[in-house]
Chains A and B, each alone.
Chain A
Amino acid sequence: MSEPTQDQVAADELDVAKLQAIAKARMVTVREKIAAIKARTADKQAVLDQMANEHAALTARMNALAEEIKAVEYPEVFELKRELGKLARIAGGY
């Protein structure tokens, strides 16, 4: 295969530049379409974000309270329940 001439290289570079320009222009159009669609749900998204924040705060309080309960119960209740299970089997249970 022969080496490309200077004219051919210049022509290829011109094509690449054109392709990049077309792609950049299309990117602007696609971004505008995305923004237009998302604008239709923006109010609902804001409410959802607020609810998610409230949910996260409530979950954090629940987890903290659960930790306080476990600090008292664990591991004693866990071990006592295991002992109860062994005793129940010895006593003839399923």
Chain B
Amino acid sequence: MTVALETELSPAAQKVRERLAASPLAGRAEVVERDLPTIEIAPKEWPALARFLRDDPESRYDLFLDLCGVDNLRRKGQKTRFEAVVHLHSLPRNERVRVRVLLDDALPSLASVCDIYPAANWFEREAFDLYGFDFPGHPNLYRLLCHDAFVGHPLRKDYAPGQRWFFAEEDLRMPAWSKETDVRAGHFETQTISIGPSHPATHGIIHLVARLDGERIVRAETMIGYLHRCFEKMAEKHHWNQIVPYTDRLNYVSSMINGVGYVRTVEKMLGVEVPDRGRLARTILSEFSRIMDHCVCIGANLVDIGALTNFVYLYQNREEIYDLLEACCGARLTVSYVRVGGLAVDVPDDFVARCRRLLEKIPTLIDDVETLVTNNRIIRNRLSGTGIVTKEQAVAWGMTGPMLRASGVPYDVRRAHPYDFYDKFDWDIPVSQDGDNFARYLVRIEEMRQSLKIIRQALDVFPASGPVNSDDWRVVLPPKDAVYHDMESLIYHFKLTMEGIRVPAGERYEWIEGGNGELGFYAVSDGRGGPYRLKVRPPCFPNMAAFQEIVVGGTVSDAVATLGTLNIIAGELDR
């Protein structure tokens, strides 16, 4: 056995160690204590470990959440230059584990686990693209986010940012199968078409290459990355607080939730407590953002399949919520409202009254949409029984959020890993056993109602006054009147602005329930004013990875309806 750290292990990590010690892998994996139980392992053992973690009846880590690379070139005290960090979740036991695969410096390579966890497919392609890791055994190892004429691996620390690579049309890689001729018995020759990148139904820029046999899709491949801005590289160049405006541009439909998820990660690393008023304000605005997210998803989806009126009613909700956000922070879409340790400014005086006005308006509009849609025969024919994802498939593909719940798994981060005050509120998780597009529509409609329920309870306990920010001036900018007149405050203000928040060295994965599912932030700090590495686990990334499998067998019009209920937000997908 490699030398185990003699630090105190938490009971969770102790259990992981015991299970590993009883496994065939005994002596080849090391368990260390971090924010999550962390297994360190050599790349050649990784597939065996993955299989063990998934199949062992006492482990059952069935949900593959995230795989990302870390380059330790400028980070002291690490064993290897490259490592692949994997986060796994066990749905039956509600436990998590992190696996750090310590890679070879010269030739970072680890076997693909696509056959064990199908969700790993796109995450491995992403790590190949951004870090140059090799995944032997991967079925389709091509660049995912960067374009095909890109040279180098941008998230490596020795890659100079700002380089530009010219992309010509002939550089576009089409899947090899799309060029082959396929003649089926008794049929005409199948044809290959491109849906997107600029197609009204793709909502953002997504490229679907589909092989059609008549109207049916027999094979498909999704190509993404058209909106890639390399959020993660930008994050490495900025201070912790300066990343907040960047997070707004991940899921720009519910930008508040991204900010909350991000600053929670940093606050956990710092050990900073936000006062109740600040946390409740975040909760209320996050839930309103979730309603917006679902409104956009349902509205746009219904427009795609021909029902225009609902879009207008749902967007009316969204406009009203935007007005509330604008009154709080001064912007409608890209709110930039949260800061590490609290909020940018206190909520306005009429915050509670405004929220209560919204609580009266939104339900009637949701009811109107339900009257128009739910029992409409055309909608039923388009949505019922199309885009079916079974429970097993949803878990294997790493889906979370409404997608997973519509397939019958009652997993919601707000219940499984309660943050802020979600465990204090009374609300239900909507699930459906059907797993089709209509189930996802119903789940989202019900989630909007549950969000309203949460907001109502949060407003009842919302403190009328009090601080929204932590009073730790090493983290939060001091109040302005103190900055103008008090030297001490001015120094803190200056240090925070010029150098950023000093986050202790270490790593942390924090996750919250975004509009589309689990939104995770994995942050690595080396003690500077900004992150050493920041990885976003976008909830719609695994959903989109599964899209090319879901649509096979259905018609093109089913694919359009399915794409709508997956709720792909390109800003979050491509980062």
A binds B: no
Q: Which residues of chain B have a CB within 8 Å of any CB of chain A?
A: none
Q: Which residues of chain A have a CB within 8 Å of any CB of chain B?
A: none
